[in-house]
Amino acid sequence: MPASDLRPPPSPPRGPAGRAGGPAGRSVRGALRYAAPALLAYAGVRALGLLVLALWAAVADRSAHQLLSARWDSLWYSRIAEDGYGHTVRAANGDLHPDLAFFPLLPALERALSALTPLSAADAGLAVSAVASLCAAAALFAIGDRLYGRRAGIALAVLWAAVPVGVVQSMAYSESLFTALAAWAVYAVLTGRWVWAGALAALAGLTRPVGAAVVAAVWAAAAERVHRERRLPPRALAGVLLAPLGWLGYVGWVGARTGSPTGYLGVQEQWGNGFDGGLAFAAFVWRHLTGGVVGGVALLAGVGLVVWLYALCVRQRQPPPLLVYAGVVVVLALCAKGYFGSKPRLLLPAFPLLLPAAVALARARPVPAAAVLAASALGSAVYGAVWLHGSGPP
Q: How many CB atoms lie within 10 A of CB 202?
A: 25
* pLDDT band at residue 24 under the 50/70/90 scheme: low
- Please state, as a whole number, how many other Cβ atoms lie within 10 Å of the Cβ of residue 116: 9
| Better-scored residue on pLDDT, 15 or 336 | 336
State whether residue 195 is helix, strand or coil: helix
The confidence score (pLDDT) of residue 198 equals 98
- Under DSSP, the state recorded for 168 is G
In one letter, which amino acid is 166?
G
**Residue-wise pLDDT tens digits, 371-394:** 999 999 999 999 999 999 987 667
> In the prediction, which pLDDT does 79 show?
97
Mean pLDDT score across all residues of the chain: 91
Alpha carbon 135 to its chain centroid, in Å, reads 12
Answer whether residue 164 shows pLDDT above 80.
Answer: yes
Per-residue pLDDT, 309: 97
Question: Buried b / exposed e across 343-370, counting CB within 10 Å, b at 16+?
Answer: bbbbbbbbbbbbbbbbbbbbbbeeeebe
Q: Which pLDDT value is given to residue 244?
A: 98
> Are the C-beta atoms of residues 356 and 251 closer than 8 Å to each other?
no
pLDDT tens digit sequence for 197-243: 999 999 999 999 999 999 999 999 999 999 999 999 999 999 999 99
**Rounded distance between C-alpha atoms, residue 236 and residue 246, angstroms:** 18
Predicted pLDDT at 287: 83
For residue 19, name the pLDDT band (cuts at 50, 70, 90). Answer: very low
Q: Which of 44-58, 160-174, 286-300 has the lowest mean pLDDT?
A: 286-300
For residue range 283-330, list pLDDT tens digits in order.
888 888 887 777 778 888 999 999 999 999 999 999 999 999 999 999
- Over residues 51-71, mean pLDDT: 95
What is the helix (H) or strand (E) element at residue 98, kind and residue range?
Answer: strand 96-98
Output the pLDDT for position 337.
85
* Residue ranges covered by each domain of the chain: 3-7+26-388
Give the pLDDT of residue 255.
97
In order, the DSSP letters of 311-359 are HHHHHTT--HHHHHHHHHHHHHHHTB-S-GGGHHHHTTT-GGGGHHHHH
